[in-house]
Structure 1
Amino acid sequence: MTRPDNDTFLRACRREPVPYTPVWLMRQAGRYLPEYRRVRERAGDFLSLCRSPEMATEVTLQPVDRLGVDAAILFSDILTIPAAMNRGLRFATGEGPVIDHPVRTAADVDALPVPDPGAELRYVPDAVAAVRKALNNRVPLIGFAGSPWTLATYMVEGGSSKTYGIIKRLAYDEPSVLHRLLDKLALAVTDYLNAQIEAGAQAVQIFDTWGGVLTPPAYRELSLGYMQRIVNGLHTTADGERVPVILFTKGGGAWLEEMAETGADVLGLDWQTDPAEARRRVGSRVALQGNMDPAVLYAGPERIRREVARTLDAFGPAPGHVFNLGHGVSPDVPPEHAEAFVAAVHELSAAR
């Protein structure tokens, strides 16, 4: 795999020495950027933007050009797989994602196709290839997918949920049905990430947004076990190199040791996890990513700078830190604050 000119992110993922701490932001290409909003208006709707490799490439590069981040992440959505399974995905204003045809029964699960990344999802690897070409080897490109548990939650609940009552009832009353769904989703996610790797993604992240709502036994059985299958099933690149794999479970601080045993290279930490404690618990087995509170970006540049310094201190000098937020950038964050954040990470970490 050809190394990009700026390979600090990849080196940090592999716990190699770096001249400064690399940084990227979850949701770095999004609504807080006016240039993104202009492209979104041109696309007409969110899914049309995701399905256009040309426009997805444009918005993927926007934060690289504006913020100077050390990695690009493909502009897409974790729900592309459920959409390709014909569940009627749409994004309702003020509601977030809505699944018009939720999966609630064994018959529903059995009827689900496993989407082909070379057919129904072809626009995603096409976008990966287009982004790699447009980046011209400046920084690495991260591909991603949602975890099977997170995708199942949306598909069973019919969208976002506050109680997770429908999927948890399924887990307790009809576990075999839920496991059949998770089996299909694990296969679909593995195929999907492999297609991104084959198209040129230089790292991949699995977003386990809802793993933190589970009990410890349920997390191991319904979330972590299926992510382990995906990690085991990922291919090497054409020249035999394994791309770094990042696992991010929001609310998953209790299970870091078990996450580190999956073979993932990097664990993403949310802002409620203490970095020093995380490093003590997992040692040098994996790199760590995170984990500044996303709300800090509402503050002014001087306070952002102080929080960046505090976070760097918490992670300490050991190699293997990728700076990020503990979750995604909020849509109403001033872009200038994100610029100040990236600049502070670069400056303060280089001086250490």
Structure 2
Amino acid sequence: MIWEHVKPIVDELVDDHSTTEWQQVFMKWDAQTWHDGDAPTEQTNVLMIDANAVTTKGTPDLDALHELLKDHVQASISDLYLVSLFPYAKETSDTRVNPRIRLLEDLGRFHQEFGLMYDAEPDVYNETQFDLLKETNLFIERLTQGATALRVHVQSFRGMPEERIRLVLTLWHRVLHHYKPNGQLILAYEGDTRHVPAYFDVADAICHFDLASHVLLAFAQGDATRLRDWAHYEAPPEGKTYYNFLSSPERDPFEKNLINPPPEQILAAHSILLSLRGIPALDYRTLLGVTTPVERDALIQDVKTDPHRLNVFSGILSQLNVKRTHAALSPYARERIVSVDDRVFAVERTDGEATLTLYTNVSNETVTLPVQGTNVFTEEPVETVELAPYGFIWMH
């Protein structure tokens, strides 16, 4: 039973619930049958998607969403970060089925093909409202609903002292790894970035919120210097990593912040996203070219017939498919930022004897680089790299 391992933390947190109440919660969950997922690898690619994104006759349809993802992205995407999922409202005509039970049944269809990631945000407005036992119970409930990763935002612990937040995260991190040893606690932290490394002892991955703004600046200036300087961040401890994204639930799609971006520019941005050490997460709004819920059949037809959307969709999936085959692009592979040209962002990734170097031109100029290797997309030898505007190449 996990209780003996978490009791010292609960005692230090000092909440209003008795030891018996705490033990009853863990006895309930210890009696469940638990299924662990796989640890993150180079094959781990996350798609952030609104659970209400796909509709049938104007109504959100999880069946249609599941069918769409299974048929069109499963070969490239390993995990789904499902947002806008909780609370799961009970239909007015449904008087018998507990909505959380129905939610578990509805999500069951997804975790045959995908790992699942949910938010685990305390639903409170101040510290006095925070019920540690209730929130811990909800945290574990997310795991029973198929989650292999849970994202917790530090700023959601409103008004709580930092040391107490760290204790809560310590408790949840220990609980998660008891039930799912390969599970991931993803920490969103938007405070002083100098404090980020200190949170690695209570999380498995930490969100890189600054990546998007630095990539945007690089394209706006046609200069990768500041992005390159930023990317010399502190390496995470062994077995830890970052969680990288260009868009997040809290922010607009990445391309909305660019001025009429051509597909080449969007693909170049994603080549940077996928080149950096960490677990990469993509925004379904970018991948599918949508901003609001849409009918499944119309969505598929529009992606196939709109050249811009098709280029982005097929281009991103192509990058993901190549990434999945190279251990040097594991979330834990070593990373070295390379300086070759101010217009080019370059990073070398190494895992064991496998090394890849990735070059992305952030400018609207053609750039020639005196480097040699093999293009991993075509497996053709390259004597000199010539990058078209917003061009990129991955080489070994």
TM-score of Structure 1 vs Structure 2, range by shorter chain = 0.5 to 0.7
Q: Which position in structure 1 is the counterpart of 2:318?
A: 343
Is 1:58 the equivalent of 2:64?
yes
Q: Which runs of 4+ in 1 moved over 6 A?
A: 1-4, 212-215
2:291 corresponds to 1:332: yes
**In 2 relative to 1, CA 348–75 (structure 1 residues): closer, same or farther, beyond 3 Å?**
closer
Deviation at residue 322 of structure 1 after TM alignment: 2.0
CA change 1:57–1:228 in 2 (3 A) is farther
Q: Is the 8 A contact 1:289 1:324 kept in 2?
A: yes
Instruction: Give the distance between the partners of 1:212 and 1:272, measured in 2 at CA.
Output: 22
How far does the alpha carbon of each residue in 1:70-92 deviate from its partner, in whole angstroms, 9 at most, with x for none?
224275635327x68xxxxxxxx
Output the CA distance in 2 between the equivalents of 1:213 and 1:191: 18
| Counterpart AA for 1:23 | N
Q: Which amino acid aligns with 2:204?
A: D
Give distance in 1, aligned partners of 2:315 and 2:172. Answer: 36
Matched, 1:194 2:143: yes
State the match for 2:231 in structure 1. 276
**Which segments of 5 or more consecutive residues in structure 1 lack a partner in the other structure?**
13-17, 44-48, 50-54, 85-117, 153-166
Closer/same/farther in 2, CA of residues 22 and 131 from structure 1, 3 Å limit: closer
Which whole-Å deviations, capped at 9, do the CAs of 1:212-258 have from their partners, x for residues lacking one?
8978x745545x54333322223656xxx523213141625624223
**In the alignment, is residue 247 of structure 1 matched against residue 186 of structure 2?**
yes
Please, which of 291, 295, 300 is the counterpart of residue 245 of structure 2? 291
Structure 2 equivalent of residue 303 of structure 1:
265
- Structure 1 pair 329–257 and aligned structure 2 pair: CA distance change class (3 A): farther
Residue of structure 1 equivalent to 2:204 = 265
Amino acid at match of 1:77: S
- Do structure 1's residue 130 and structure 2's residue 115 form an aligned pair? no
- The answer to which structure has the higher strand fraction is 2
Q: CA-to-partner distance for each residue in 1:290-332, whole Å, 9 max, x for gaps?
A: 123541377332112221233344x25xxxx32224x774742
For residues 120 and 242 of structure 1, do their structure 2 counterparts lie closer, same or farther at Cα, with a shift above 3 Å needed?
same
SS in 2 for 1:306: helix
The one-letter code matched in structure 2 to 1:276 is A
Q: Is 1:71 matched with 2:87? A: no
What displacement does 1:261 show?
A: 0.7
Could you tell me which residue of structure 1 aligns to residue 151 of structure 2?
206
Are 1:60 and 1:75, in contact at CA under 8 Å, matched by a contact in 2? no
Aligned to 2:186, the other structure's residue is in SS state: strand
Secondary structure class of the residue paired with 1:80: coil
Unpaired runs of 5+ residues, structure 2, are 1-33, 91-96, 215-226, 248-252, 293-302, 304-308, 327-375, 377-394
Q: Is the 8 A contact 1:60 1:73 kept in 2?
A: no
Matched, 1:144 2:118: yes
Shift of 1:23: 2.2
Q: 1:59 to 1:285 in 2, by over 3 A?
A: same
- TM-score, normalised to structure 2's length? 0.49
**Closer, same or farther: CA 272–259 of 1 in aligned 2, 3 Å:** farther
Deviation at 1:344, TM superposition (A): 2.8
Contact 2:177–2:183 under 8 Å retained in 1: no
* Structure ranking higher in helix proportion: 1
Aligned length: 244
TM-superposition CA deviations, 1:4-63 (whole Å, max 9, x none): 9xx7xx442xxxxx4xx64222126653xxxx13x371x3xxxxx4xxxxx424314423
- Structure 1 distance, partners of 2:76, 2:323, is 15
Among 227, 230, 233, the alignment partner of 2:169 is 227
Deviations 1:140-166 (A, max 9, x none): 321423321xx22xxxxxxxxxxxxxx
Larger radius of gyration: 2
**Which of structures 1 and 2 has the larger relative contact order (alpha carbons within 8 angstroms, sep 6+)?**
1
Mapped partners of 1:124, 1:218: distance in 2? 34
The one-letter code of the counterpart of 1:58 is: A
Cα distance change on mapping 1:80 and 1:342 into 2, 3 Å:
same
CA RMSD of aligned residues (A): 4.1
- The two structures have a TM-score, normalised by structure 1, of 0.54
